Amino acid sequence: MALKTDFCILGGGIAGLSLADALHEHDIESIVIEQNEIGSGASGTPGGLVNPATGRRAKKTWKAEHCYEAIASNLEKIQAFSDQPFYHNNGLLRPALLEKMAHKMKEQYEETTWPDGWCQWKTKNEIQEIHPGINCVNGGLWLPIGITVDVGAYMQAYGHFLEDLGINIFCGERPYPISGDDCWIIELEEITVKADHLVFATGHTIATSPFWDWLPVNLIKGQVAKFQKESSPLSFSHSISSLGYIARSDDENTFIQGSTYEHDFTDVQPDDQGEAYLRKRMKRTLPQLEEESTIIDQWAGVRTSTPNYKPILGKHPAYNNLHLFSGLGSKGLLFGKFLAEHYADHLINGTSLYPEIDINRFA
C-alpha cells in the first residue's frame, strides 16, 4: 500500500507532534513515523517544568511570553485527550543556595521586565515561609506561573489528539528515507509513504544522521528519579528549581528529582551514579526530604543542545524539501509548540525565521 502526504515527520516527541499539529492548523497533511513509541526519547520524562527563568541567574528565556502562551494553551487543549491530569499550574520556587547566586539572581531580576504576576523576588524568610525547611541564602524567586508537566503523559495524549484529527502515526519501525525524483520515499514494513517534504524531529539521533552530522550539537544525558516520602504526605504543592529540580507529581507522597548533566556517556540507561548525584542535589536543597525518601523509579534521556542554546529549524542546504526541527535543549516544553507554529507559518506563508534559530546560522 502507498500513502501520499505533504509532510512525513520522523520522531514522535515534542518537536514532531507539535509540528504535525501546527501543520494541521494550516490544513497541511502529515504522517508521523516514530522508531520506538511516542515519547520514548527525551520527551518521555515523567516530570518537566515550564520555567521561564532559567540558568544560575534565572534569566528570562528567549521569547518567553510567546512560548509560555503557546505551551499553556496547548496543555489545556491536549488535556481533554487524557484520563488523568498531566500538568499542574502549581508555581515554581527558585531559592538561591549561595550568596553569589542570590546576588546574580537579584541583579538579573531587577534588570528584567517581567509580565505582571510572573515573577517575584522573595527574601530568605519569605522563601522559607513558602517552603519551611528549604535551604536558602539571601532570597530567591517565586514564579506563580510555573507549570509542572508529566511530559510522557502529555505526549501520549498528544498522540491521541493527532490521531483524532486523522493524522497517521506509525510506531516501531526505523525508516530509511530515500530521495526520489520529486518526493521522499519511506518504505515501512507494510506501506510506502511518499511525501513532498521530510522532517527530522528525531532528537539526539541527528548527531549520527548522515544528513545532519555536520551540525555542531551537544548531547547531554539527563537522569531523573521518582522518589516516595515514607512517613507522611509531602507538605508542598509547588515545584522547585535550584540545583536541578524537584517536580511535584499528582500523588501526595511522590515527586520527581531531576536532573543529571552528563556530557560523556556511553549508554542512555539510568544508573546508580545517577541516583547518587540526584540525592546529593536533593540534600543540598531539602536535607530532611532526602533522608525520608526512597527511590521508586528512574529514567534517562538525552537533551540536544546547540552553541547558542537555541533550537535548530530549517531546510537542509543540499537536499530538496528536507527539514530539521531539533536542539530544544532543556526547554522543550517552552520552545516546542511556539516554534512548531513559527515554522509552519514560515513554510506556508513565507514569513522569515528568527535568525537565532535558523539552521542557516551554521551554513
Ligand X SMILES: Cc1cc2nc3c(=O)[nH]c(=O)nc-3n(C[C@H](O)[C@H](O)[C@H](O)COP(=O)(O)OP(=O)(O)OC[C@H]3O[C@@H](n4cnc5c(N)ncnc54)[C@H](O)[C@@H]3O)c2cc1C
Task: List residues binding ligand X (CB under 6 A).
Answer: 10-16, 33-36, 40-43, 45, 48-49, 151, 174-175, 201-203, 205, 222, 224, 258-259, 301, 303, 326, 328-334
- Closest to ligand X by CB, 156 vs 202, is 202
Strand ranges of the sheet holding 87-88, from the earlier edge strand across to the other edge: 48-50, 147-149, 87-88
Q: For the CB of residue 363, give the shortest distance to ligand X in the complex, in Å.
A: 21
Q: Which H or E element spans position 277?
A: helix 272-285
Q: For the CB of residue 22, give the shortest distance to ligand X in the complex, in Å.
A: 13
- Closest to ligand X by CB, 293 vs 298, is 298
Q: For the CB of residue 231, give the shortest distance to ligand X in the complex, in Å.
A: 27
- Closest to ligand X by CB, 13 vs 139, is 13
- Closest to ligand X by CB, 15 vs 119, is 15
Q: For the CB of residue 133, give the shortest distance to ligand X in the complex, in Å.
A: 23
Q: For the CB of residue 129, give the shortest distance to ligand X in the complex, in Å.
A: 25
- Closest to ligand X by CB, 128 vs 168, is 168
What number of CA atoms fall less than 13 Å from residue 120's CA on the CB side?
14
Give the residue among 96, 50, 55, 115 at the shortest CA–CA distance from 76: 50
Q: For the CB of residue 115, give the shortest distance to ligand X in the complex, in Å.
A: 19
Give the residue among 19, 49, 60, 38 at the shortest CA–CA distance from 258: 49
Long-range pairs, 228-234, Cβ under 8 A, ≥24: 228/253, 228/254, 228/293, 228/294, 228/295, 228/296, 229/253, 229/254, 229/255, 229/289, 229/292, 229/293, 230/292, 230/293, 230/294, 231/292
- Closest to ligand X by CB, 12 vs 95, is 12
What residues contact 27, with CB distance under 8 A and at least 6 apart?
A: none
- Closest to ligand X by CB, 27 vs 263, is 263
What's the rounded Cα separation, in Å, for the pair 222 and 260?
Answer: 5
4-17 b/e (C-beta count within 10 Å ≥ 16 → b):
ebbbbbbbbbbbbb
Q: For the CB of residue 232, give the shortest distance to ligand X in the complex, in Å.
A: 27
Q: For the CB of residue 265, give the shortest distance to ligand X in the complex, in Å.
A: 11
- Closest to ligand X by CB, 201 vs 240, is 201
User: Strands, DSSP E only, in 116-183?
Assistant: 120-122, 140-143, 147-149, 168-171, 177-179
**Chain centroid offset of residue 239 CA:** 16
What's the rounded Cα separation, in Å, for the pair 358 and 327?
Answer: 11
Report which residue type is found at 28: I
Residues counted in the chain: 363
